[in-house]
Amino acid sequence: MKENQKIIITATTANSLVYPEVKNWGKTTEELIDDVVECYEAGAAIAHIHLPRGEEIETVKKIRERCGIIIQAGMSSETISQRKGDFDSKPEMMSVMLNHHTEHYDQVIIEVLHPMKELEEYCVKLKEANIKPEWELWHTGSSWNLDYLIKEKLLEWSNPHILTLFFNWPGGLWSPPNYQEYMYRKKFMPSNSIHTVSVMGEDQMKLLVFVLTHGGNIRVGTEDYPFIKKDIRAKNNAEIIRNYIDICKHVRRDVADPSEARKMLGL
């Protein structure tokens, strides 16, 4: 990615598993939709959404009736069969985990296998559905798996490759949210890719400012860190987006709107 390209901001609207008491996210489907629209109006190009089960099609339809944000279906911890509603709702992008899930929170522990056979099936099914994969990379083994899929020619239809690098998520996939880890992980990204960074917890801004000045994009919102800064709870996701847009202005990086982001991402 060119250093001077516009920044793509992804709003992640789900609840926080680290700070469940904060509760500044949408609780109902209608509140979720309102939240996504407000993020669009604040300047986000992509909405990473955990589509309500049984309401996926209607939720996507209502969002598209109200705004032009790019819809990225989350919940990569689930199996392909569990995500049938995500496929049927036809989002532009779908999150896919490139390694096994092993996350550990006070109230929730997630342990899910994602074998290579499943990843290969994702490549086929997403191509058939005309949905672009957003690959979740949690360590360098994730990059190995992605390289394998590319070498097997399962992703020739999906250039550029859209990646999200995760830092400081608790559990067996934890990685330190520091500059050295970010620069090291960048070395293993495939060519012809665009990357976003997700940081959980209060070190988020420290790393994301560095990312903004080193060619990356950012993912922010209540799922990752529901505060503006330490001990200052965000009013909602739109306030988090506006806060990072101000930071982008300070580091002289323009923010892409959804139309510009679609061109950059090959959607």
> Whole domain around residue 181: which residue ranges?
9-265
Distance between CA atoms of residues 16 and 13, nearest Å: 9
Q: Write out pLDDT tens, residues 61-99.
A: 999 999 999 999 999 999 999 999 999 999 999 999 999
For residue 4, is pLDDT > 70? no
Domain count, the chain: 1
Look at residue 111 and tell me whether its pLDDT is greater than 90: yes
Q: Is residue 86 part of a domain?
A: yes
Residues 245 and 225: their CA atoms lie apart, in Å, by: 16
- Domain-located, residue 1: no
pLDDT, average across residues 156-166: 97
4: in domain? no
Residue 66 lies inside a defined structural domain of this protein: yes
pLDDT in tens, 181-213: 999 999 999 999 999 999 999 999 999 999 999
Specify burial of residue 220 (Cβ count, 10 A radius: 0-12, 13-18, 19+): buried
Is residue 3 situated within a structural domain? Answer: no
Read off the CATH number of the domain in which 22 is found: 3.20.20.70
Beta strands in the chain (DSSP E): 9-12, 46-49, 70-73, 93-97, 101-104, 109-112, 132-137, 161-167, 193-199, 217-220, 227-229, 232-233
Instruction: Give which of 3, 66, 8, 14 is closest to 237, Cα–Cα.
Output: 14
Count of other CB atoms within 10 angstroms of residue 244: 26
Q: Find, among 118, 116, 37, the residue nearest to 83 by Cα.
A: 118
The model's pTM is 0.95
Instruction: In whole angstroms, give the CA distance from residue 220 to residue 148.
Output: 29
pLDDT at 1: 45
